[in-house]
Amino acid sequence: MNTSRIPDYSDHSFDGMLLWFATMSESGLLFHPDDPADEIYDIATEAKTFTPNECGKAGAILNTMFELHGDNVYEAAYPIFMKRMGLHLDS
């Protein structure tokens, strides 16, 4: 069975992007939207983080996000990254 750890992106709203990034973060799979998934490695093991199928799915999802929302993709990802790093959001 070929199971992907990449969540579906079915809600194409801004909140749907927030949910997608949050789910990726909760799974320990969060990466910057400008970085191709096939270039993400585990530093400790030097192994690729994602399978080829997961890379394809993540890439397609991010392409859709950018097509629909442009730079607002970064606005959706920002609070998720800040929380993941244990930093407070700007007021």
Compute the C-alpha angle 28/29/33, nearest 5°.
Answer: 140
What pLDDT, on a 0 to 100 scale, did the predictor assign at position 59? 98
What pLDDT, on a 0 to 100 scale, did the predictor assign at position 1? 54
What pLDDT, on a 0 to 100 scale, did the predictor assign at position 49? 96
pLDDT in tens, the chain (91 residues): 568 899 999 999 999 999 999 999 999 999 999 999 999 999 999 999 999 999 999 999 999 999 999 999 999 999 999 988 888 776 5
Report whether 49 contacts 29 (CB < 8 A): yes
β-partners of residue 48 are 41
What pLDDT, on a 0 to 100 scale, did the predictor assign at position 13? 98
- Does the model's pTM come out above 0.85? yes
